[in-house]
Structure 1
Amino acid sequence: MQMTRYCNFTPLLAQPRQRSVRINGLATCLRLEEIYWRIIEEIARQESMTVGKLISRWALEIDLTQEAIHNFTGFIRIICVTQLLDKNHPISLNLIDPDASPHPLE
């Protein structure tokens, strides 16, 4: 079967990875697909902060703008997508190497 333009990526990017992070002083685990961790890591690099500090900032902003959060990881995914679409905060998809193996659990 021929590869399509929509599914031309390594399945490793869809593999979930659980990562322990401290969000505003509270230790928690987030389970996201590898592609989202790579996007988060790139945004954190661009902002010169750790992944935990970046997610903490997002959590505070979500608390300030949303009434109730039922799916925090869903909001994280949406933030990642909106950042990819944001012209003021470009993320090169070339940095997301489709041939690289996923990071080990941290």
Structure 2
Amino acid sequence: MLRTTYCNFNTDLLKLRQRSVRLNGIATCLRLEEIYWSIIEELAREESLTVGKLISRWAMEMDLAHESTWNFTGYVRVVCVVQLMRRADPARQMDLAQYPVVT
């Protein structure tokens, strides 16, 4: 029998969930897969922040540093992945600047 390596997870993690959040005082909705909401909740817990406050912080950072970013939901996904990668191997800090900027 074939043992799956990459596909062995609860498929509920793929389900999209829309959640209302306040980004720096402005009400909005984000639609992300459950896995991302789980990651965000864990990151917020580690920083003693609410999910809304953490996402607001990311929105502010995006506005200050990545003015050309137009897809906030994609930005949130990438932040989640980068945070997990850094935690998996803190000694290996990815040089994300090596990736070309697409305009």
TM class by shorter chain equals 0.7 to 0.9
Where do 1:27-38 residues align within 5 Å?
27-38=27-38
Unmatched tracts of structure 2, length 5 or more: 91-103
TM-score by length of 2: 0.81
Alpha-carbon separation, structure 2, partners of 1:28 and 1:49? 18
Give the Å deviation of 1:3: 4.3
Are 1:15 and 2:15 matched, yes or no?
Answer: yes
Alpha-carbon separation, structure 1, partners of 2:78 and 2:66? 14
Structure with greater proportional helix content: 2
Runs ≥4 in structure 1, deviation > 3 angstroms?
none
SS class of match (2:87): coil
RMSD: 2.0
Which residue identity does 2:30 align to in structure 1?
L
Unmatched tracts of structure 1, length 5 or more: 91-106
Question: Larger radius of gyration, structure 1 or 2?
Answer: 2
Indicate the residue corresponding to 1:48 in structure 2. 48
TM-score by length of 1: 0.78
Which residue identity does 2:26 align to in structure 1?
L
Higher relative contact order, structure no. (Cα contacts within 8 Å, ≥ 6 residues apart): 1
Which residue identity does 2:31 align to in structure 1?
R
Identity over aligned pairs, percent: 65
Are 1:66 and 2:61 matched, yes or no?
Answer: no
Q: Kindly tell me: are residues 80 and 15 of structure 1, through their superposed partners in 2, closer, same or farther at Cα, counting changes over 3 Å?
A: same
